[in-house]
Amino acid sequence: MSGPTGARTGRSAQGRRLRRMRADGWQPTYGTEIEGEPQAANACLDCGWGRLIFAQTFEDPGRLIEEIRDEAIDRRDIAVYVRDPHVLLALAPQELFLDPSHTYRLDLATYRTGRRPRRGFQVRRLASAQDAEAVNRIYAARNMVPVPPEFFWSRHDNRSIVYLVAEDAVNGEIIGTVTGADHFRAFRDRERGASLWCLAVDPQASHPGIGEALVRQLADHMKTRGAAYVDLSVMHDNTHAIALYEKLGFRRIPFFSVKRKNPINERLFTGPERDEGLNPYARIIVDEARRRGIHVHITDAEGGFFRLTYGGRSIHCRESLSELTSAIAMSICDDKAVTRRVVSAAGVTVPEQIEAGDPDEIEAFLEKHGKLVVKPARGEQGRGVAVGLDALEDVMKAIETARSISDRVVIESFVEGEDLRLIVIDYRVVAAAIRRPARIVGDGRSTVRTLIEHQSRRRAAATGGESRIPLDGETERAVRAAGFGLDDVPPPELEITVRKAANLHTGGTIHDVTDEVHPELVAAAVKAARAIGIPVTGIDLLVRSPREPYYAFVEANERPGLANHEPQPTAERFVDLLFPLSMPLAARLAAGSDARR
């Protein structure tokens, strides 16, 4: 009696375990023995962006190759723990390549939880569809493969996959994410391992230590589950990430990963291009052109110059400035006083402006408006711009600084509001984003100067060196206005704006609002672009809110940085403008239909 009863009980428990394993993402192979819960054969784990294919569970290299070949379109599968990569590649040299990444391992038996308190953010499990959308936004900003939001949400309580997010304590925004895979729960890994994937921090985040906190939280979670170690794969030249992992105790181990040759992985197996000196603003366009089969000739990488050729048409560009922009349009944008007059005549609202000259006139202008903006009549990237000046002495100093960049200086009435950049291509708004000035967050230990230096390094790393916070007079003035000196230690979690202008090149951040911008703001940007006669431009407005119609025109940029607006299709629309015949037929027909309307 007890024997049959016990057998039934055992089979029932075994069935529950099998159902749980399948729910966790384990893919059983016919013939696999379940008795005693052995390690599964031919195991894969779907992560949304692609699958982890655990090569150590495959006995037959041919079967492993077939599994890699089953990669879905627009996904990126990774065969990990490949024992003999040379054998695998020899069997399918045209289809597979050795991933140029290092494998690192954190031994959880010796790992100790970090005691450094987190300031200004918390780390928690992914808990909503909104979290999933925010994670995809960060993936897009980091050029990572997106995940269908429904996949995130359907798997957020999965036992094999763990999704963690970092949440800003003040505004609730998701500012970082990491994914963990529990190998034991995925395929009954006999080594009880785990792995870390998709560590990503919002490039606009100002809080220090987000990446470290996410890694530590995942390590703590896996250790609590009984995992023996956490492995990760990191590109061999990602020095910043490697430095973080080694600081936390990760050590390199001799394991390899193999991937399938596909468009997502193309840069990893085609070798380095001869355009390594291109900045992000040129590279995003070059990459889009190459995807369409457009020939690219780099004429000066350091300056961002390249020539695109398709069929019988050839166009020379400098980043988003092309031969389609006339010299007249460029000269209008180059002189801020002229820009203001041209767009004002077209009915665009502009702030009051004078040229710096007579000190009495300047003093009267200051008394009339209370606060002023000083900027070079000619210049770019925010150099020489001073914002929110309310003392005549500061105005005169700012004029002298601006004159070092341009012999003519303009003074404008200061308009309160947020800085909105709208990208107009072919007289259509393609992207819109709020630009915010550089900020730091106090930790109770570091001086303002140190916090600025740290934040500047983070901004430089996030933008390929394009964004840094200068320690100049404008920064000192902004810090002083906040009640601090550069060598003061601000209290924990206090946010300090250290620049008044929201220019990205001086450490500002950018936040996409394309889907919510008010139609009146869109109309104003298009009207300004048409008045100048410029096919590609960045129109800057000061607004109360991107959702309200009130604005004041600031300036037009003839060479806007398209890379700052990912994932909006700025590069795609730019190449559409240059080479309409490179567009897919359906897109060309849709564009023609829109133009007729």
DSSP conformation class of 263: G
Backbone φ and ψ for 594, nearest 5 degrees, come out as -65, -40
Task: Check: CB of residue 375 under 8 Å from CB of residue 336.
Answer: yes
pLDDT digits (tens, 9 = 90+) for 314-342: 999 999 999 999 999 999 998 888 998 99
Which H or E run contains 11? helix 2-23
Distances 502 to 207, 387, 541 between C-alpha atoms, Å: 18, 10, 12
CA 292, 297, 299, 301 torsion-angle sign: positive
Q: What is the pLDDT of residue 316?
A: 97
Q: Which domains does the chain have, with CATH numbers?
A: 272-320+579-596 (no CATH), 352-414 (3.30.1490.20), 438-499 (no CATH)
DSSP conformation class of 100: -
Say how far apart CA 316 and CA 324 lie, in whole Å.
9
Q: Reply yes or no on whether the pLDDT at 596 is more than 80.
A: no
Q: Which residues contact 351 (CB under 8 A, 6 or more apart)?
A: 373, 412, 413, 414, 415, 542, 552, 553, 554
pLDDT digits (tens, 9 = 90+) for 26-72: 444 333 333 457 889 999 999 999 999 999 999 999 999 999 999 99
Amino acid at 570: T
What is the signed CA dihedral for 416, 120, 177, 265, rounded to 10 degrees? 60
DSSP conformation class of 467: -
Q: Tell me if residue 552 falls in helix, strand or coil.
A: strand
pLDDT digits (tens, 9 = 90+) for 431-456: 999 988 888 888 888 899 989 888 88
Say how far apart CA 221 and CA 227 lie, in whole Å.
9
Q: How confident is the model at residue 10 (pLDDT cuts 50, 70, 90)?
A: very low
Do the strands 551-557 and 439-441 form a parallel or antiparallel pair, or are they unpaired?
A: unpaired
pLDDT digits (tens, 9 = 90+) for 522-568: 999 999 999 999 999 999 999 989 999 999 998 899 999 998 898 88
The residue whose two tokens read 């375990």 is 17
Give the predicted TM-score (pTM) of the model.
0.68
Q: 166: which strand partners?
A: 123, 176
Task: Check: CB of residue 387 under 8 Å from CB of residue 373.
Answer: yes
Mean pLDDT of 215-224: 95
Q: Reply yes or no on whether the pLDDT at 154 is more than 50.
A: yes
Mean pLDDT (the chain) is: 85
Q: What is the pLDDT of residue 223?
A: 94
Which H or E run contains 7? helix 2-23
**Taking the CA atoms of the chain, what radius of gyration do you get in angstroms?**
28
Q: Tell me if residue 323 falls in helix, strand or coil.
A: coil
Q: Reply yes or no on whether the pLDDT at 383 is more than 80.
A: no
Q: How confident is the model at residue 413 (pLDDT cuts 50, 70, 90)?
A: confident
Q: Reply yes or no on whether the pLDDT at 404 is more than 80.
A: yes
Ranked by mean pLDDT, the top range of 102-106, 124-128, 383-387 is 102-106
Nearest to 54 by CA among 201, 282, 64, 440: 64
Nearest to 452 by CA among 418, 419, 495: 495
Q: Reply yes or no on whether the pLDDT at 230 is more than 80.
A: yes
Say how far apart CA 250 and CA 81 lie, in whole Å.
17
pLDDT digits (tens, 9 = 90+) for 70-95: 999 888 999 999 988 999 999 999 99
Helices (H) and strands (E) in the chain, counts: 19, 27
Do the strands 439-441 and 418-425 form a parallel or antiparallel pair, or are they unpaired?
A: unpaired
Task: Check: CB of residue 423 under 8 Å from CB of residue 522.
Answer: no
Q: Which residues contact 254 (CB under 8 A, 6 or more apart)?
A: 103
Residue 299 tokens read as 């004429």
Q: Reply yes or no on whether the pLDDT at 517 is more than 60.
A: yes
Distances 220 to 107, 141, 182, 215, 216 between C-alpha atoms, Å: 12, 27, 13, 9, 6
Do the strands 229-235 and 101-107 form a parallel or antiparallel pair, or are they unpaired?
A: antiparallel
Q: What percent of the chain has pLDDT over 70?
A: 88
Distances 125 to 135, 164, 218 between C-alpha atoms, Å: 12, 4, 10
Burial 167-203 (b: 16+ CB within 10 A, else e): bbeeeeebbbbbbbbbbbbbbbbeebbbbbbbbbbbb
